[in-house]
Amino acid sequence: MTPREDRHNSHRYAEPLAEGIREDEGVRVVDRIWKIALVSTLFVLLFRQELQRLVLSWGTASESHGILIPAFSLYFIYQVREQLKKTVGRRSYAGLLVMTVSLLGYVFSIYTKFGYPKPLMMIVMLGGIVFLLGGWPIFRLVWLPVFFLIFALKLPGGLHESITIPMRELASSAAAIILNILPGLECEAANVLIHGTYQGQPFDLNVAEACSGMRLLRTFVALGVSMAWLEYRPIVHRIVLLVSTVPIAVFCNMLRVLLTGLIYIFIGPQWAQGTMHALLGMVMLLVAFGLYGGIAWIMNNLFVEEEDEKCEVLVIKKSCEL
């Protein structure tokens, strides 16, 4: 056989082989789609009440950030879409065990009338379904997008109160200390209240629950997790960015309470509530993003990976040889 005939035959056999591979990939995609559609329908039917309550809670001011969390989870999955296409899932019955534990926890929550585990078990059930159908090869790619949905849930009342009250007290104390520095002002913090006088006129400021900074804190912790997942960084950088979200959120909320107090005292009480108060919250969100971006910039510019330095030296040496 001549080389030309050999090349001709190789192309003739390669084309059916490529078509077979494409057909297998198509069958695999269709198989995944109908499984996802079926499981999603059953999941919605089982947890329809919890899903309805969750969506309704996103309509409140304190939980409005929750509507963004599923969108972020879908984007995380979109980021690993090529890896998911190339990965062959393996059914794992350990996922069935996780689903059973989730269902038992859900029933227990209904029986004890303790509401928080119900939406939490919904997310655990979702993780169990992924593990059952795809096994570890698929689960290792989507575990964070699944459990990232926890940020969309309301915190239990007791836990929410145990976090917000110290944050409100911290904000009132910090604002009172700074207000005392200003001439003509005398202030004293008492728990979440600020008692003071300005030019002999008394006033009282109450750091309400809406000013606790809890919404900003939860939003920024979710942001820190998403940035650590999406951006390629050394593990130390990711930990620093994640941990920095807490002091940034606390600082911005203290600044918000201070500015609200200044507006209340020097401009008027009517300007420290309503639309102005909400606008100030948006401004603090921008300040928080700026601080977070500044920390990310510092991490990018102060630390250089050793591999980059080695590559630079190698390029210099080659250029010298030339």
Percent of the chain at pLDDT exceeding 90: 9
**Lowest-confidence segment of 74-78, 185-189, 229-233 by average pLDDT:** 229-233
Q: Please state, in angstroms and as integers, the Cα–Cα distance from residue 130 to each residue in 45, 117, 136, 162, 213, following that order.
A: 17, 20, 9, 34, 35
pLDDT of residue 126: 92
Express each pLDDT in 246-263 by its tens digit. Answer: 899 889 889 988 888 888
Report residue 116 CA to chain centroid gap. Answer: 19
Please name the residue that has the structure tokens 């080389």.
Answer: 3
SS3 content of the chain, % helix, strand, coil (to 5): 80, 5, 15
Residue 130, both tokens: 């992924």
Q: What is the pLDDT averaged over residues 261-278? A: 82
Residue 190, both tokens: 């008492």
Asked if pLDDT for residue 311 goes beyond 80, the answer is no
Reduce the DSSP state of residue 186 to 3 states and report it: strand
Please name the residue that has the structure tokens 């459990």.
Answer: 147
**Residue of 281 and 146 predicted with greater confidence:** 146
Task: Say if CB 261 and CB 179 are below 8 A apart.
Answer: yes
Task: Say if CB 150 and CB 123 are below 8 A apart.
Answer: yes
Express each pLDDT in 25-64 by its tens digit. Answer: 666 667 667 777 888 888 888 888 888 888 888 887 778 7
**For the chain, first and last CA: distance in Å?**
47
Residue 120, both tokens: 């939490």
**Residue of 254 and 157 predicted with greater confidence:** 254
How far apart CA 155 and CA 150 sit, in angstroms, is 10
Q: How big is the chain, counted in residues?
A: 322
Enumerate residues 6+ apart whose C-beta is below 8 A from 103. 121, 125
How far apart CA 99 and CA 124 sit, in angstroms, is 7
**Residue of 57 and 158 predicted with greater confidence:** 57
pLDDT of residue 224: 83
Reduce the DSSP state of residue 190 to 3 states and report it: strand
